[in-house]
Amino acid sequence: MYQQRPGRLWRLRWWLRRSLPALGPAFVAAIAYVDPGNVATNVAAGGRFGYLLVWVVVVANVMAMLIQYLSAKAGLATGLSLPALCREHLPRRVVGGLWLQAELVAIATDVAEVVGGALALRLLFGLPLLTGGLITAGVAFALLLLKNRGHRPFEIAVTGMLGVILVGFAYDLVLGRPDVGALVGGSVPRFDGAASVVLASAMLGATVMPHAIYLHSGLTAERAVGASEPRRRFLLRGQRVDVVVAMTLAGLVNLAMLVVAASMLRGHGDTIEAAHAALGEVAGRPAAVLFAVALLASGFAASSVGTLSGQLVMEGFLRRRLPLVLRRLVSLAPALVVLAVGVDPTKALVASQGVLSLGIPFALVPLVLFTRRRDLMGALVNRRLTTVVGGACAALVIALNLALVGSLV
């Protein structure tokens, strides 16, 4: 008897039912790619250099897809986070050094997130920066408490924040009517003096954030506990979709940030405050409000993700776990000091992203080395081409960091 083959819609529903449980980690990691540091660096790049550094956004996002995929794969294959892999397979002195730099990266990350949230609250409600920083820290802590109910509620909340950020910048982008020719021209790699090198490095640090590399491996490792080899393969297929979708959305948001600044804000200044004021003048009050709301959602979500990453870093490298409240206070203190002494918020954000760029190789090099080892990865080991491309990404980051250091000396 003739049996009708399942239709495309049925097959899509079947795939979604099986795949949805595997999705989520990349969307949490993607928040790190659209945090307040990204807003500051992209606004500064667009406001100061127009479309010149569009290529940095594109290159950084392509790199992010590969790097986050490798991080997800490492967690699934080994059941360990990247910091834990370092602890198990690297000399103790090396592990100690990696932990110290990772903690510095975590501090720089939290400075960006808390300062960004505080700045958004000042733009929206006129609150003092220090008060806004405390509110941002409190909301981020509340988001982290969702993790006690399992990974799914936290991932849904963070993904919702990502949606708010996307809508806010998409609205401003539509109003900006970008110059398509200049946008295409900006995809050609080039610099314009030392200032553009510094900004490019900060943009790279804001996009390929070290703590996101550490965190993604830990989030997927949770799903790999007790999983069979076929299950790990299935989860990896889901992670490919997860990474591509999440990183594509994050890349589009970053591109929108820069293009809005290049098309509407050039000549009005290159700070977040100047961008907010100029949007109100050029595009109207709703555009300015949505810009600030997107920045606020970015600060709230990214601060919680940054704290979670800092906790994973300490637990992985040292096998020690601080209570969540204490971890929040440790990472919060430097950010509150920055706000209390009156440092310019946008300058603090851009500077923090430069620090993050310097930390990328310390996460990326071990990641590439571990994922190429069959004794660790088993059937999920890298193909040779994947390892070569990953090594090229690490070399590019190191070269850009050397150029950054050289431009500052």
**Does any domain span residue 9?**
no
Question: Residue 63 belongs to what domain range?
Answer: 23-408
Total number of domains in the chain: 1
**Does any domain span residue 138?**
yes
Q: Output the 3-class SS for the chain.
A: CCCCCCCHHHHHHHHHHHHHHHCCHHHHHHHHHHCHHHHHHHHHHHHHHCCCCHHHHHHHHHHHHHHHHHHHHHHHHHCCCHHHHHHHHCCHHHHHHHHHHHHHHHHHHHHHHHHHHHHHHHHHHCCCHHHHHHHHHHHHHHHHHHHHHCHHHHHHHHHHHHHHHHHHHHHHHHHHCCCHHHHHHCCCCCCCCHHHHHHHHHHHHHHCCHHHHHHHHHHHHHHHCCCCHHHHHHHHHHHHHHHHHHHHHHHHHHHHHHHHHHHHHCCCCCCHHHHHHHHHHHCCHHHHHHHHHHHHHHHHHHHHHHHHHHHHHHHHHHCCCCCHHHHHHHHHHHHHHHHHCCCCHHHHHHHHHHHHHHHHHHHHHHHHHHHCCHHHHHHHCCCHHHHHHHHHHHHHHHHHHHHHHHHHC
**Does any domain span residue 404?**
yes
Position 19 scores a pLDDT of 54
**Does any domain span residue 15?**
no
**Does any domain span residue 323?**
yes
Collect the ranges in the chain with pLDDT lower than 70.
1-23, 205-206, 225-226, 267, 269, 404-409
**Does any domain span residue 1?**
no
Q: pLDDT per residue over 90-129, tens digit each?
A: 999 999 999 999 988 888 888 888 888 999 999 999 999 9
Q: pLDDT per residue over 131-144, tens digit each?
A: 999 999 888 888 88
**Does any domain span residue 375?**
yes
Report the CATH number that the domain containing residue 316 is assigned in CATH.
1.20.1740.10
**Does any domain span residue 366?**
yes
